[in-house]
Structure 1
């Protein structure tokens, strides 16, 4: 249990830093674009995000002398990277939200939502977050849990 908890916390912190501080504006803007340009931007984001998770995870494993294997690390980080890249292409997560009946929530905070916030001029107003962002992050958190279980048990 201690190994799982330490690994999960390290992955969570690495995810938060990598997804919000390390990801470049170009990656964030381009990763959902169609074609190879979008795939390349998403791949660069996933690579830098995974590297950030490794930077957060390795000192925890080393300093706590956690009994994790190279195989477990590679499998766990690989599962996490694939799941992250899948969701960050944007159309994939939007389609899943639609299939699950969450399209309206996915659109909260955007001009696509029928009750979107507007400025005095009637244009869409900025918000602190969107349904798409909440679904994106909860998707990533679920896969961090799976990755931590793999790392701690393989």
Structure 2
């Protein structure tokens, strides 16, 4: 990896990660947060609306930050990275798929933990997002 690719990766990851927290915790509406994991059309629509605003925030921060930093990002990798982030975010936020992954990997008890100041579902959700944001940053920096 060249220095410029490493710099693009580090910047892209920081921009994606920071914007994800803003979009997930400040931009997402209470309705989206409480409805997105429900079965049926209402849950799917709430999750899709959340992911749309989440992706818009990530895209704006990524492109704006890259411009301020003087990084040249190619449109194709940026679009692919944002698509990966959006799709993986939708899967996790529908909740049932992440519970199934947790069950299949022996983390079923952890994902259901909501005691002692911990919320296992939230922690696994965030770990999932961080992993895919890392992959997205790798795509951007390619």
Q: Could you tell me the TM-score, scaled by structure 1's length?
A: 0.86
Shift of residue 63 of structure 1?
1.5
State yes or no: 1:66 paired with 2:55: no
Match 2:43 to one of 21, 38, 42: 38
CA distance in 1, matches of 2:68, 2:112: 43
Alignment of 1:41-52 (within 5 A): 41-52=46-57
Aligned to 1:143: 132
Match 1:17 to one of 9, 18, 22: 22
Shift of residue 35 of structure 1?
1.2
How many residues get paired? 137
State yes or no: 1:54 paired with 2:43: no
State yes or no: 1:86 paired with 2:75: no
CA distance in 2, matches of 1:85, 1:143: 12
State yes or no: 1:130 paired with 2:135: no
Aligned to 2:111: 106
> How large is the RMSD of aligned CA atoms in angstroms?
1.1
In structure 2, the residue corresponding to 1:144 is in which secondary structure? helix
User: Following superposition, which runs of at least 4 residues in structure 1 exceed 2 angstroms of deviation?
Assistant: none
Q: Could you tell me the TM-score, scaled by structure 2's length?
A: 0.93
* Higher Rg of the two aligned structures: 1
Structure 1 residues without counterparts, runs of 5 or longer: 110-115, 118-126
CA displacement, residues 50-91 of structure 1 (integer Å, 9 cap, x when unaligned):
111122211211112212111111000001100000110000
